[in-house]
């Protein structure tokens, strides 16, 4: 059963530190998404890649967040420097472009706590 | 006003009850629709797609009303294991899945 894999599952860090989250999309999927979920805001789209190219990162605070996809099997989301308000669960999801009815498949998330 | 709105609940129902959730969307250009289920501290998982003619999967029935711009999810004979948050998802892009909009979720608790 193919799954999206995210690491780490949990991360606790101090304000000002760099945080890197990783995601391995499902093999063959050509779209990758980063979402952030908090109790107050629900699921927010941060960035979107298609065929490894970043297409939309309008939901991401550009001054501290960056998303990359160095190869088809790895997507990264980096926060530098981290702040307490970044505490949330970060989900990666993958899917198939060209199939509007194709759902997204989520990884199990990285629970980030910034103190 | 949010693009996808759901009643946050919580819905507390006894085992065996039938429960229905509605979700409204504001963009009439929306193309595809889904229900996801999210358990506490877990990732969202696809429950079912929603087709124009309505569709059923076991105890779950999904309906789409384009004229009124809402989708619904009906759960019959509810089980304890149905307790979760149900997310309504609307995709505005016919050819791509990059414009998915998530509702805030409806929380369901099924009690013995």
Are B28 and B3 in contact by the 8 Å Cβ rule? The answer is no
A98 touches B: beta carbon within 8 Å: yes
Chain B residues close to A96, C-beta within 8 Å = 97
The percent of residues above 90 in pLDDT, for chain B, comes to: 74
Contacts of B59 (CB under 8 A, 6+ apart): B75, B76, B77, B78, B79
CA-nearest of A30, A78, A31, A35 to A59 is A35
Q: What is the 3-state secondary structure (H, E, C) of chain A?
A: CCCCEEECCEEEECCCCCEEEEEECCCCCCEEEEEEEECCCEEEEEEEEECCEEEECCCCCCCCEEEEEEECCEEEEEECCCCHHHCEEEEEEEECCCCCCCCCEECCCEEEEEC
Mean pLDDT: which of A40-44, B7-11, B84-88 is highest? B84-88
Q: Residue B67: its pLDDT value, please?
A: 92
Q: Residue A101: its pLDDT value, please?
A: 66
Chain A residues close to B41, C-beta within 8 Å = 111
Are A93 and A67 in contact by the 8 Å Cβ rule? The answer is no
Q: Residue A17: its pLDDT value, please?
A: 97
A70 sits in the region (left: phi over 0; alpha: psi -120 to 50; else beta) called alpha
Residue B101 has pLDDT above 70, yes or no: yes
Chain B residues close to A48, C-beta within 8 Å = 98
Using CA atoms, how far apart are residues A71 and A25, in angstroms rounded to an integer?
Answer: 11
Residues of chain A with pLDDT under 70: 1, 98-101
For chain B, what is the mean pLDDT?
A: 91
pLDDT in tens, A14-41: 999 999 999 999 999 989 999 999 988 8
Contact B97 A99 (CB under 8 A): yes
Q: Residue A98: its pLDDT value, please?
A: 66
A51 touches B: beta carbon within 8 Å: no
Q: Residue B96: its pLDDT value, please?
A: 65
């Amino acid at each position: 059963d193919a799954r999206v894999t995210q690491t780490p599952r949990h991360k606790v860090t101090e304000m000002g530190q760099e945080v890197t989250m990783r995601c391995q999309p499902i093999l063959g999927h050509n779209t990758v998404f980063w979402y952030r979920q908090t109790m107050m805001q629900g699921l927010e789209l941060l960035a979107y890649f298609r065929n490894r190219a970043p297409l939309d990162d309008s939901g991401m605070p550009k001054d501290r967040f960056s998303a990359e996809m160095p190869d088809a099997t790895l997507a990264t989301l980096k926060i530098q420097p981290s702040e307490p308000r970044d505490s949330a669960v970060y989900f990666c999801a993958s899917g198939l472009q060209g199939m509007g009815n194709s759902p997204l498949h989520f990884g199990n998330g990285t629970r980030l706590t910034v103190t | 006003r949010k693009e996808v709105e759901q009643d946050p609940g919580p819905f507390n129902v006894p085992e065996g009850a039938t429960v229905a959730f509605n979700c409204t969307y504001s963009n009439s250009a929306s193309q595809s629709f889904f229900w996801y289920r999210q358990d506490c501290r877990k990732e969202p998982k696809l429950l079912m797609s929603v087709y124009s003619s309505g569709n059923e999967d076991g105890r779950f029935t999904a309906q789409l009303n384009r004229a009124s711009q809402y989708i619904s999810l009906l759960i019959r004979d509810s089980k304890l294991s149905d307790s979760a948050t149900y997310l309504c998802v609307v995709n505005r892009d016919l050819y791509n899945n990059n414009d998915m909009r998530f509702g805030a979720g409806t929380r369901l608790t099924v009690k013995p």
